[in-house]
Amino acid sequence: MTVTPRVTVWNEFIHERHNEAVTRLYPQGIHTVLADALRAHGLAEVSTATLDEPEHGLSEKRLAATDVLLWWGHKAHAEVPDAVVERVKRRVTEGGMGFAPLHSAHLSKPFLALMGTGCFLKYRVAGETERLWVVDPGHPVAAGIGEMIELAQEEMYGEPFHVPPPDELVFVSWFKGGEVFRSGCGWRRGLGRIFYFRPGHETFPTYHDPRIQRVIANAVRWVAPPQDLATPVRGPREPLEPLA
């Protein structure tokens, strides 16, 4: 395994600068809180990137130096150019970069491109109780969590979540208002791994929660590529055995 994966926390960083309630919760942005949390969990090489940087913080060079990319976006999905989306997708599927879309990143363009489905769902912002139940207690992403995480106030996301069947399902959420949701889902896509983690609406203090931070640190380690990854050989081939 990569001993020290190089992590980039990407954030569109809009709500935090234009919505006072969000500014109070995340004055330096969600990405900063997440980066600090990952460092506190022993991930030594963590940096951040935002939509308003050159090439949206996602240049070829930057991606080539990233082993795990976290993604938070909501209002500005459409502002990420298709060329950047294709770059991220290739870096995952052909380069083995791990990808961890968070909360409303279910509609981010890279996630849509990697899933091949609409990724839509039901939703309600009512500040209701969410319980994230661990359905796979042996899974590395659930390590240290116990049986569930209760959040006093979150946005509701409801099934059907229009994604391919997860290769690994770790969390299922219960919502006070009556719905359920597959909240922690892993997929393998080409050389790379993807982990979607549901909670994290910007008007709630979710990313300050130490259990949520633990899950995200676990997820980073789980999606990080192994060392000695081979580049898949493709194209025309000579036979290895006589054909006659």
Q: Which is nearer to a copy of itself, 77 or 176 (CB)?
A: 176
From candidates 8, 66, 93, 213, binder to a copy of itself by CB under 8 A: 93
Tell me which residue has tokens 């391919």: 164
Tell me which of 20, 42, 78, 235 binds a copy of itself, using CB under 8 A: 235
* Smaller CB separation from a copy of itself, 20 or 241: 241
Angle at 203 between CA 201 and CA 208, to 5 degrees: 75
In this chain, which of 14, 35, 145, 220 binds a copy of itself, going by CB under 8 A? 145
Q: Measured from the CB of residue 12, what is the shortest distance to a copy of itself in angstroms?
A: 21
Q: Is 166 exposed, middle or buried (0-12, 13-18, 19+ CB in 10 A)?
A: middle
Judged by CB under 8 A, the chain residues 204 through 233 that form the site for a copy of itself are 221, 225-233
Residue 29 Cβ vs a copy of itself, minimum distance, rounded to whole Å: 27
Q: Of the candidates 27, 44, 65, 120, which one interacts with a copy of itself according to CB under 8 A?
A: 120
Give the orientation angle of helix 30-40 with respect to helix 210-223, to 10 degrees: 80
Member of 117, 152, 208, 210 binding a copy of itself (CB under 8 A): 117
Nearer to a copy of itself, 77 or 90 (CB): 90
Residue 134 binds a copy of itself (CB under 8 A) = yes
The answer to whether residue 51 forms part of the interface with a copy of itself (CB under 8 A) is no
What distance lies between CA 85 and its chain's CA centroid? 15
Residues 6+ apart with CB under 8 A from 102: 70, 71, 72, 196, 197, 200, 216
Contact between 42 and a copy of itself per CB under 8 A: no
Strand partners, 94: none
Nearest to 196 by CA among 94, 69, 76: 69
Binding-residue total with a copy of itself (CB under 8 A): 82
Query: Nearest-CA neighbor of 34 among 199, 236, 157?
Result: 199
